[in-house]
Structure 1
Amino acid sequence: MPNKPLKISCLISIWLIITLFISCRPSSPRINQGQLLDSLSEQIKLSKQPKKAIPQLQQLIKENQTDSVILSRAYFYLSYCLLKNKQDSASFEVAQKALTILPLSEKNGAQAATNFYWMGYLEQKKQQYYAATYYYTQAAYLIDAGNLKLSFPKSSGIILLWASQLNNFNNRLDLSNRFARKMLFLLKKDTSMLAKDLSISANLLLSLGYLDQKGMANDSVRFYLNRATAIKKKTKLARIDYNYYISKAKIFYEGKELDSALYYQLKAYKADTSNAFMAYNNLLGIYVNKHQLSKARVAEREVTKRLSQSDADNYLMYLENKIAFAIARGDNKMAQSSFEAYVQKKNEREKNENRKAANEISSLYKTVQKDQQIGALNKKIGKIKGQLELNRLWLVVIILFSGLLVAMILLLFLDRRRKQLITENKRVSDLNIKLELEQRLLRSQMDPHFIFNCLAGIRALVRQEKTQETLTYLDHFSVLMREKLTAGNQRNIDLKSELDFLENYLKLQQIRMPGKFDYVFELDNEVADMFDEIEIPAMLLQPFIENSILHGFKNISYKGQIHVSMAIKDEVLKVIIKDNGVGLDTTDQPTHTSRATQIVTERIQYLQTEGVGEASLSMNSQMDAPGTIVTLQIPV
């Protein structure tokens, strides 16, 4: 409680600082400039000469230096117009500003996705494929998270397709499959020809992405491949025949179904003969794997004629096929020389790729980490001062807020630590009390006097040559002692075991004192049904039974009666032990019996401190008859 006013004052201070900050924010002429930008964007989309909008966009940027959303949109359209005007370098610089100045939030997700896509497109034009993959992937992430449907300069489906293809090429199959599935989700209700084209490509990418050791036996591979085939049959889009057939050829080749791979490779070549080198190179690989060496030789000749058409990747693929072909026909010398050429070319390519990748990643890292661009703000002295004042206010707010936050965290930590220490101390104290009680109870459980009397009774029965009675007595005594020792090592036992123990104890006492007393156990239906499920503290009832026999019936001239009843209500077991002995008022109880009763009382109190339910104990003489009544309430 002493820390509560301090906590409240901290919260009030934070609220006042936030209110002050909000009231000090400069107003933004967002509405008018936003409408102007909307008008310009529509003109740019419809115009065949978007360069005419460049001066207007530059003027809008000069007039608006506070609204990051409008600035980002204006920079993007300016970059688009500059690219159309063949000013690639300027377009790239402006696109970077559009990306860095926009805060990434859900409200601005569409513009952020557009900016990332545009940067990826510009990097791709520069053949910076690592950077392009990064930006396309970021755009796809935003489209996936917000179900964004972009339309300019490219649709969401096309952006997802490029991101999926690039990640598939880089063996990021999880991302490739994720973006392809999102593409299918966004195109679900789109019946346009472009949507069908994209759906075919997405299904083929997913079929390729799920290829594993099972090959074409993988259900997912077959599922997406069949979907692509079904869409293609309905649409009959001739313009996508080559990509469709070459993708299916690759899927079947990777899936080890070479006949189907050969079929679709031939159809792909028929659909587009412009890339003959790639077609014959693929055919060479298929024929070698099918061990059709004569056809492989023809394909090799055709590939050799067109080596000038190959790039580094295709040439390496050609060398791989050439090595496999040489091995298949037993020409080890050719295989060796081709392998050496392959290793040399691959090392050269890896060096070039590593160098290029290092440069791209370095440039990309600098771009991603770059602070917001504020160069244009330097042209307005007054606005710069206003921005500096706002930055100073931000700094003060951050310092104050940070200080208060640290103070609150420290106070909360100290308060929590204090409560933990208090709780731990209480737990240790309670545990000590519990252990002491259980130890004291265990010491009191083995009554030497009782054991001596039992042994004396056994001796008397033996001397009287009562063999059957002696055996019965020994049986009950051994069971009783075993149950006593077992109960002494347990904190709780089930009710059945406790009653079995009491019954053995009572039978043993009846043999020792024949005709002295009778006993009755009365259980209600609910207790009888849960006989072996209810658990109570071990050795809890025996001291009261012992009091009745040894002290309640000690000086009576009539037959004693012990009545034990049990009922359960609201998860509390109520036990009533009644006898018709001399009662409490005339009983001079020995020290042992008083101590045992005291320990049971302390155990009941411990049950109350544990908070497991209502626990109580009462012992009274009966009002309308001789004897004692003991009532226990035990939570179960």
Structure 2
Amino acid sequence: MKNYLTIALFSLFAILSSCTETQEEPSTQQLINEIDEVVPQASKQDDQTLFWKNMLNKDRYASNTVAKSIINFRIGLSFYPSNLDSSDVYMTKALILVENVEGFAKVKAQVYNGLAVNAGHRGNYFLSSFYSNKAVSIVDASPSGIPVRRKVRVYLYAAQNHHHIGLKESSYELAKKAAVYIDSLSEDDRLKVMIYIELSSTSIFQKINNDSIFYYLEKIAQYSTSAEYDAIYYANKALFFEQNEQFDSAIVYRQKSIELLQNELKDKYNTPPNMYTSYCALLQNRIHIEKMVETDSIMSKLSEIEKEFPTYLDVSHYLMFEEIMMNYYYKTKNLEKYHEATKKFQKLTEEKQQKAELQAKEEMHTMYQLEENKRAIKNLNQSVEITESELQKTKYFLAITILVILIILAILAILYYRQKSRKLQQEYEKVILEQKLLRTQMEPHFIFNTLSTLQSLIRFQEPKKAIDYLNRFSRLLRSNLELSRQEMISLEDEIETMDNYLSLQQARFEDYFTYQIQVPHELEIDALFIPPMLIQPFVENSILHGFDGEKEWNIEIKITELTATKQLQIEIIDNGVGIHTNPKKKHKSLSGEIAKERLEILSKKYKIPTDYQIFSEQGKGTTVCLKLPIIDGFQQN
């Protein structure tokens, strides 16, 4: 019964646990911290991508929207810059997952900035600015919840985008926002020099006071840690002198920048367009100071770059070159070439305008599609939430239903157990009553025979024998009365009672039979229990029905312990005439039926088989074999 209740309670606990499992899951912030601490041990892009995809499939993260967003972003980052399309797919997934979740500004700003970087890498600066502006608005709204370096990157990249699309003033303001955190950055942090590069570039175009510009330029030189930053430093310094029409100084710094680009930075992916821009600026400076002799070598370099790296240049580079050539032909009085350059310039201007319009349309279409996708995903997420809510309700309903069923089953099991216990108790009480009734049936039988013998002695005037017999009988009767109230008596008491009984019968029949009671010495007769008066009826049958007075008779009571079957074997052996050989004696004994019933009662109570057998052979005697449970003091109690 206890096992059933335990199983029921365990099943209920499992069901309720499954319904409330979300309460045991780690918090979103814990998952974010875990992911932030993960550093993939893979150097190859494919291995890093596989690492993050495997992490995305883990149950621990798959059920958390924000965690999935971060991991999707990491997958997108692993594709950058080799596969921008795949990078965009995963970063867009990351954005859709986290955009409508309340809070988590750090994650949202990171995803928007990642999308901005991808778009900027493609040259889609309007789309890049759109994403950058989103990131900036998030940082402005939640400055305390975002790490310093992430805020600086957001402001800095937005400033660069605004610079690209010609919004120099807002670019300068965004760079100043990044500069607010400059003291929080370490001395060797490359973000420091990038902030001063953006401040110097935008302040030159904004024509901020020269002291500020020189301060920014000197800071670039101070924090520069690579040839790339040195080249930018020289280019910005040249730009400053060009804006101030100090062309000789500008030429010096342009040449230093070009020298670094040609030698130490020749393998950088952005070196060809930077080289082209620098040579164009150098050519413009030569024209301004009217050193036309040196312009041919510069034009030759520009031609080489156009032939070798055509895919690195766009219409803006050719437009810049044609504008310079217009100025060059004008100053050299070559009107024919001037008109040709003007036509090319006009054509390139129209082309640039058309491309800008087309790009703007494409970017607007991309943004529109993104918004449509986000709306579709939002609707899908709402449908999923509704489905999950219904599923949760169903699970709770199922849990309650199962709980009710388990309670009903438990109640039914308890009622069945109680009913069964009550029935067993009734059967046990019935057994006890049957035993007592059987003893009351047997005791008058014995007393009747004994009193008949005593009556015979008195009638034949044998007072001494009668007194002696009466004394023995009184002892036996007193012992019997004391033990009759007990359901079980010790084997020792039963043997003593049988010894008294046999001695009485022996005296009654004038010693014409002998008897022996054999008990193994190792048998603890005081610790074993049997029903009272179990042996006596069979001994009485042997005396009354087995002997006919024609020879010396003997009765043997043999007690043996059957260890293998946990039984006690009692044999009553006589050398009488056997059963059904004395037609003169018509007395019918109930001892066999009574003993059989008593043995059946013992078997039911102690769950051990009992046995009752009679072996008889004409003229050689009878053996009654009883097998009953070994009942010790612990079982008796």
Q: TM-score, normalised by structure 1?
A: 0.49
Q: TM-score, normalised by structure 2?
A: 0.49
Considering only CA atoms, is the larger Rg found in Structure 1 or Structure 2?
2
